[in-house]
Amino acid sequence: MTFQEQIQEEIPLDLPAIKPYELSINHAPRRKDILSAEEKKLALKNALRYFKPEHHKVLIEEFKEELNDHGRIYMYRFRPDYAMYARSLEEYPAKSQQAAAIMLMIQNNLDPEVAQHPHELITYGGNGAVFQNWAQYRLTMKYLSEMTDEQTLVMYSGHPMGLFPSHKDAPRVVVTNGMMIPNYSTQDDWEKYNALGVTQYGQMTAGSYMYIGPQGIVHGTTITVLNGFRKIGKSPKGHLFVTSGLGGMSGAQPKAGNIAGCITVCAEINPKAVETRHSQGWVDEVCHDLDQLVLRVKAAKEKIETVSIAYLGNIV
């Protein structure tokens, strides 16, 4: 099947082959096991609603295993076979140019070169989701391929509610994420409803399909670093900025340190995050040994270098 045909396929009539769990991919951590036995049954029912009854016998065991192993049902089997990246608008099967643009944005958010946990549909922030599962992705792309400039697609926490009549000046997509009742909105409440498959946290730009990577926060982070040095009465030149985190938006920190002109040390415990940010140019150097790191920082201070160093470790 061509890329266009796969987009229009929606959920396949025949079950696709089980996808291997790729260890080279940066996967989301196991989520909290927060559901009761009865709630797990409800989570499975919610997941199976996307599929024909004849497939339920196979899928219920598979989804039960995902829920037990990962704390969520991602429906890995239904990841598309085509490469995930933003294509030119004309490559998308769309009746509306605006719909094609939204498909492009969705695929950019899920591109393995962009997303923090691409196979779990998490773009950034550890839980900033584009969709809750791959069935939702497939259904949404199908709707977008059918949309005209006089229709609006309504989304509820990754779940497409359907195409509704509207007009050319109306939004093509209306999105809500993380809708919670205030009296039932603790972290554990959200964890439970997310595991049940009825809500997701879209962060600012994951669930709204407009993530532009760490560059989106570089300016604000640079200002924060400069103000930090101003607060302590020092110039950034030749002085040290110590921080942590290279996943998602945190990847902006070493680049902001370089722009400010200081020496940045950024600790990160995930080797895949370190490798990604280093290969992408967000951080200059990588250090695995704390004693070597100390020597490198002393040398940088003596030479008044502007340099960013990722330290693969938990504490600096």
Residue ranges and CATH numbers for the domains of the chain are: 3-196 (3.40.1770.10), 215-312 (3.40.50.10730)
Predicted confidence band of residue 153 (pLDDT cuts 50, 70, 90): very high
- 72: closest CA among 37, 110, 44? 44
% of the chain exceeding 70 in pLDDT: 100
| Distance, CA of 316 to CA of 113 (rounded, Å) | 28
| Distance, CA of 34 to CA of 233 (rounded, Å) | 48
* pLDDT of 249 above 80: no
Q: What is the mean pLDDT of the chain?
A: 95
3-state secondary structure of 13: coil
| Distance, CA of 6 to CA of 133 (rounded, Å) | 17
CB 267 within 8 A of CB 244: yes
* pLDDT of 247 above 90: no
pLDDT digit string (tens) for 42-92? 999 999 999 999 999 999 999 999 999 999 999 999 999 999 999 999 999
DSSP structural state of residue 78: G
Q: At what angle do helices 187-196 and 37-48 cross, to 10 degrees?
A: 50
- 45's CB contacts (< 8 A; 6+ apart) are none
Task: Enter the tokens of residue 242.
Answer: 């110590």
* pLDDT of 213 above 90: no
For residue 38, what pLDDT is reported?
Answer: 97
CA angle 172, 7, 198 (to 5 degrees): 65
pLDDT digit string (tens) for 96-140? 999 999 999 999 999 998 999 999 999 998 899 999 999 999 999
From the number of C-beta atoms within 10 Å of its C-beta (0-12, 13-18, 19+), residue 42 rates as middle
| Distance, CA of 223 to CA of 138 (rounded, Å) | 40
pLDDT digit string (tens) for 253-269? 999 999 999 999 999 99
pTM (predicted TM-score) = 0.86
| Distance, CA of 199 to CA of 129 (rounded, Å) | 10
* pLDDT of 212 above 90: no
Task: Enter the tokens of residue 173.
Answer: 């997509």
For residue 316, what pLDDT is reported?
Answer: 65
Q: At what angle do helices 37-48 and 56-70 cross, to 10 degrees?
A: 130
Amino acid letter at 82? Y
Listing DSSP states for 172-199 in one string gives SEEEE-----GGG-SHHHHHHHHHHTS-
Q: Please name the helix (run of DSSP H) or strand (run of DSSP E) that holds residue 286, with its range, or none.
A: strand 285-287
For residue 108, what pLDDT is reported?
Answer: 97
DSSP structural state of residue 55: G
CB 142 within 8 A of CB 191: no
* pLDDT of 215 above 80: no
